[in-house]
Every structure is written in structure tokens, then in C-alpha cells.
Amino acid sequence: EAQVTQNPRYLITVTGKKLTVTCSQNMNHEYMSWYRQDPGLGLRQIYYSMNVEVTDKGDVPEGYKVSRKEKRNFPLILESPSPNQTSLYFCASSLSAANQPQHFGDGTRLSIL
């Protein structure tokens, strides 16, 4: 089954404790992306990747890192999380450049205390 898998689905942690949210897709998609969803703001793009070793900033990259060492994986790293990063996070992938529909994971709800 074609899918985008995120882990964990839920995480409560404390300020400053490094965390990684994993994202994996099994569709051989080139384009992958991370979003955060906050009430009233829709989804905002954090980082995206056009292909292996090619990443670029979205609209809200501050406080986040990503890497794309393999085509299928695109982890999101919060090196020193802060409470303003409490949000619902989605990973997505699409076949190629940003004119293709995206497939979304089920989301990761992060709470930073």
C-alpha cells in the first residue's frame, strides 16, 4: 500500500531536549516536505526536498533541521525544542516538483513543555 509513515504519532517532551520525527515513503517520490498546522493558520511549509541531498527552506524553517540521505526518508530534527514549536506536524511526498499532488502522513502531535 502506498503510504507516508510518520513516527511518533504523539510526543510530549521538555524544552531543550533534542528530538527527531521520522518520515518514510514507499512510492519512490522525489519531492518530500514538512509542514506544521496551527489553528487559524492552515499548514505552513517548514522545509522541502527536491531529491536526495537537496533541501531548501519553506516559510517557517527557524528552529528546525532536515536531512535527505536516502530517497525514502526525510527526518525532521528539533535540536533545542521550545514551547512555540508545539504543533501538529505533517510529512508529505509527491512524485516530482511542486506541481504534483502530495500524499500526506497521518500527522505527529508534538507538545513541548
Question: Which positions lie near other proteins, rule CB under 8 A?
Answer: 31, 33, 35, 40-45, 48, 50, 56, 58-59, 90, 92, 97-102, 104-107
Q: Give the H/E segment covering residue 101.
A: none
Q: All 3 cell numbers of residue 29?
A: 517520490
* Min CB(14)–other proteins separation in Å: 25
| Beta carbons within 10 angstroms of residue 48's beta carbon | 22
Residue 67 or 102: which CB sits closer to other proteins? 102
What DSSP character marks residue 83?
Answer: G
Q: Indicate the residue among 18 and 57 with the shorter CB distance to other proteins.
A: 57
* Closer of 53 and 106 to other proteins (Cβ): 106
- 44: which strand partners? 36
CA 5 vs. chain centroid, Å, equals 11
Least distance from other proteins to the Cβ atom of residue 25, Å: 13
- What is the grid cell recorded at 84? 512555540
Q: In the complex with other proteins, which residue's Cβ is closer, 61 or 63?
A: 61
What is the nearest approach in angstroms of other proteins to the Cβ of residue 103?
8
DSSP letter at 15 equals: T
